[in-house]
Amino acid sequence: MLRVEHLSLAFRGVQALRDVTFEVAAGGVTALIGPNGAGKTTMFNCISRILTPDSGTLSLDGIDLIGVRASRLPELGVARTFQHAALFPSLDVRGNVRIGADVARHASRPALSVDETLDLLQLSADASRNTEGLPLGTKKRVELARALASGPHLLLLDEPAGGLTHEEVGEMRDTLLSVKERLGLTILLVEHHVQMVMSMSSHVVVMSSGEVIADGAPSDVQSDPRVISAYLGS
């Protein structure tokens, strides 16, 4: 579905990405992991068209994404969440989710209704609440609901479990797997909770210092000496 080939990007001479190549298969959960500064967020920002790489190719179902503006990604069925929930504080929960539904309507994409999305994410009881005073776990679900309301095929998740309690991490994993199966999504996930990653991913890509150091099944990646040395530890 998504193909990244030989992508490189430097900031003022600092190589943030170096010849990065990997694929995201349709219908699966691919995790992008690695230590802080590995280049994961930079890679995510290239895919979501916030940054433009210096070289390499990036394609979605054969469509070249390098020349695509970020505003056009919803038309191609791509939605993203952020590490820190980027909600509109002046809107209630329903209003935030409606923005995603409006994107789907403008892009003429089939999607769940606002009420269906709220119900799917167990947010119906919070629909009229202002987002500013919500607990972090609820804010994360609101942002996820807004992304899902846009009717994506590819969902980019930037640390969906970041800042959550141990119990909330398990709930988020179960929620993501449930909506993936119901909606037939493909997920690309950046996440530091290794246990969550290994329990829900079909494929794992490990980065370190801007390069891919391992790429494969979760069990293979966990036992790779390079990954243990650079990230997992003993």
Summarize pLDDT for 155-211 with one digit per residue, the tens. 999 999 989 999 999 999 999 999 999 999 999 999 989 889 999 999 999 999 999
The pLDDT of residue 231 is: 78
The pLDDT of residue 123 is: 96
CATH architecture under which domain 1-77+153-167+184-233 falls: 3-Layer(aba) Sandwich (3.40)
Q: Is residue 67 over pLDDT 60?
A: yes
Q: For 12, how many CA atoms within 13 A lie in the half-sphere containing its CB?
A: 0
The pLDDT of residue 47 is: 95
Cα separation of 165 and 71, whole Å? Answer: 33
DSSP state of 230: I
CB atoms closer than 10 angstroms to residue 21: 15
Q: Is residue 25 over pLDDT 70?
A: yes
The pLDDT of residue 58 is: 95
Q: Where do the structural domains in the chain lie, given as residue ranges?
A: 1-77+153-167+184-233, 85-151
The pLDDT of residue 112 is: 79
Cα separation of 42 and 123, whole Å? Answer: 31
- When mean pLDDT is compared across 35-39, 51-55, 122-126, the lowest value belongs to 35-39
**pLDDT tens digits along 71-122:** 889 889 999 998 887 898 889 999 999 998 887 666 556 667 899 999 999 9
Sequential DSSP letters for 57-94: EEEETTEE-TT--GGGGGGGTEEE--SS----TTSBHH
The pLDDT of residue 82 is: 86
Cα separation of 194 and 207, whole Å? Answer: 14
Assign 229 a pLDDT band (cuts: 50, 70, 90).
confident
The pLDDT of residue 108 is: 57
pTM comes to 0.91
The pLDDT of residue 133 is: 85
**pLDDT tens digits along 112-152:** 789 999 999 999 999 999 998 899 999 999 999 999 999 99
